[in-house]
Structure 1
Amino acid sequence: MALRLYEGKAHAAGYLKNRVIPHEVISRMINYMKKKAPNEFDLAVDVGCGSGQVTIPLAAYFTKVVGTDNSAAQLEMALINSNPPNVSYRQCSAEELPFASGEVDLVMSMSAAHLFDRPKFLVEADRVLRPGGCLAVGCHTTDAELEYGDVSNELNDICNEFYAALSPFRPNGELSYAKKYLEIFESCSYPDQEWTECFRIKRTMPLTGYIGMVESYSSYQCLVRKDPAEAERLSTNIRNKLLSAMKASSADTEVTVVVKFFYGLACKPC
């Protein structure tokens, strides 16, 4: 059975506001598809779409894009977006997609597939994909880095304190997300595959944006549910340590955040 996280409205709102959209990964995914079937861009399905951040960029490439998620709160956030007319959303599980067999050109899941029932999801993805269609799964690591002047190393030591404190609250235990996704990807029977272990994406944002991003992680939200006062104390302490190391007085001071993505692409045999 798939894990059900990201269902609270506050969590969904934080996810929408603070997650980094991996436009560069999407571009690489589209280039892979163009090599396999350059004229097959009718329907893309973003499974576990959350608040639609990665769903919307697909609209530029496909005739129709559908984001699916089992969380009503996440889909409510998705509908707040300025969605292109060819983007819509459906509430359903990743293991039971509301599409006909062979109807879909792309099944994509970014930062969600670790929550699925892996065997059932792969069977369902294979069912809805047309011959020659593509499967794309990926996620970011939970150890984003910061760059700021000549104190980047010091900042990242502080960030690692944050991640270490949250590690016991990760829903998948000790198994890293990268290993989890590699297991998912290796379970796919399609012979035409590409795996990228680490693709670094940089974004400039206020320090508050970095803190908000980590607070949107499922591990932080698990801590919030267990001990909200401790979660707030931890976040405030990390923020203050970072500001001190930066010799900055405002959490709106901009930093460069480096988010590391891993992803796999596979083409269903014709």
Structure 2
Amino acid sequence: MAHRLFEGKEHAASYWKYRIAPSDHLIQQVLHFLEKQEGQPFELAVDVGCGSGQGTVLLANHFASVVGIDVSPAQLEVALGHATAPNVTYRQCVAEELPFSDSSVDLVTAMSAFHWFERPRFLQEAHRVLKPHGCLALLNYTIDMKLNYSGCCSQELNQVCQEFYAALRPYRSPHLGHSSVELYRQALESIPYPDKEWQECVWVNRSMPLSSYIGMVESFSSFQALLRENPQQASQLSRDITQKFLSVMKVTSPEAEVVVGVRYFYLLASKPAGE
């Protein structure tokens, strides 16, 4: 069974507030790959492990219908609370049992979620529901984000980032193994489709307050594991790291804007005709 995380109401709210969605460039790469394989019009996209829907809504302008799927009622409640596009709907179910008929879906996506699924079962299920020439798109980003602040030494700033990540490393889920990138690369190798695309290093810069960067890291599973085990230690870690950032940046407010470099990677695969 897939790992069930990110299900509390407070965590779901922070997920919407702090988690980042793929850039327009990344979404366009997915759509370009799908158009090469299948051609337009695009009818149905299914975003599996959609969380609070930040990525789901990015597909609304490109498909007749988009369905976000998640196991968490709290996450879906947040997604529905921010729903505006009439062609986007949400359904609660597990990733390994999708409520769609065989060969009915143009695009199956999982944005920063595939690593939590029971991966072989999900890949079989994605194969079942995809149309011939339909596409599977698995996108994710690594935790090793980099910060930049005008007038500040980037090396010093990112030493603090590394300290933050190192403190959380012991709380990383064993389900994720040593490297999420490696999990996705293994999936790429296991998918028997001839038409596949792999990109391991796409840097996207995001401007946000330092407090939002801290909030994003706090929403990660490793920080949440620490928070469950020792709330006082988790809170102290956030305070200490924030203070170190402020000291390096020579500012007093965590609302100071920083540029966060996020390293994405993705896997695209097209189901062959006749399967």
Tell me, yes or no, whether TM beats 0.5: yes
Deviation at 1:138, TM superposition (A): 1.6
Structure 2 contact 135–270 (Cα < 8 Å) conserved? yes
Tell me, in whole angstroms, the C-alpha distance in 1 between the residues paired with 2:148 and 2:64: 39
* Equivalence for 1:83: 84
* Equivalence for 1:32: 33
Structure-2-length-normalised TM-score? 0.96
Change in Cα spacing, 1:195 to 1:268, as seen in structure 2 (3 Å) is same
Tell me, in whole angstroms, the C-alpha distance in 2 between the residues paired with 1:235 and 1:185: 36
- 1:249 corresponds to 2:252: yes
Structure 2 contact 176–183 (Cα < 8 Å) conserved? no
Tell me, in whole angstroms, the C-alpha distance in 2 between the residues paired with 1:207 and 1:72: 30
Structure 1 contact 15–51 (Cα < 8 Å) conserved? yes
Unpaired segments ≥5 residues, structure 2:
none
Unpaired segments ≥5 residues, structure 1:
none
1:93-130 alpha-carbon deviations (Å, 9 max, x no partner): 00000000001000000100001111100110000000
Tell me, in whole angstroms, the C-alpha distance in 2 between the residues paired with 1:237 and 1:139: 28
Which secondary structure state, in structure 1, belongs to the residue aligned with residue 21 of structure 2?
coil
Amino acid at match of 2:4: R
Tell me, in whole angstroms, the C-alpha distance in 1 between the residues paired with 2:2 and 2:84: 27
What is the aligned counterpart of 1:229 among 223, 228, 232? Answer: 232
Tell me, in whole angstroms, the C-alpha distance in 2 between the residues paired with 1:132 and 1:82: 29
Structure 2 contact 18–213 (Cα < 8 Å) conserved? yes
* Equivalence for 1:50: 51
Which secondary structure state, in structure 2, belongs to the residue aligned with residue 236 of structure 1?
helix
Structure-1-length-normalised TM-score? 0.98
Q: Please list, as runs of the form range in 1=range in 2, the aligned pairs for 1:131-170 lying within 5 A after superposition.
A: 131-149=132-150, 150-170=152-172
Tell me, in whole angstroms, the C-alpha distance in 1 between the residues paired with 2:84 and 2:128: 27
Tell me, in whole angstroms, the C-alpha distance in 1 between the residues paired with 2:123 and 2:83: 31
The two structures, once aligned, show a CA RMSD in angstroms of: 1.0
Tell me, in whole angstroms, the C-alpha distance in 2 between the residues paired with 1:181 and 1:95: 17
Tell me, in whole angstroms, the C-alpha distance in 1 between the residues paired with 2:232 and 2:63: 45
* Equivalence for 1:102: 103
Deviation at 1:82, TM superposition (A): 3.4
Which secondary structure state, in structure 2, belongs to the residue aligned with residue 60 of structure 1?
coil
Amino acid at match of 1:194: E
* Equivalence for 2:61: 60
Q: Which runs of 4+ in 1 moved over 3 A?
A: none
Tell me, in whole angstroms, the C-alpha distance in 2 between the residues paired with 1:191 and 1:44: 22
* Equivalence for 1:217: 220
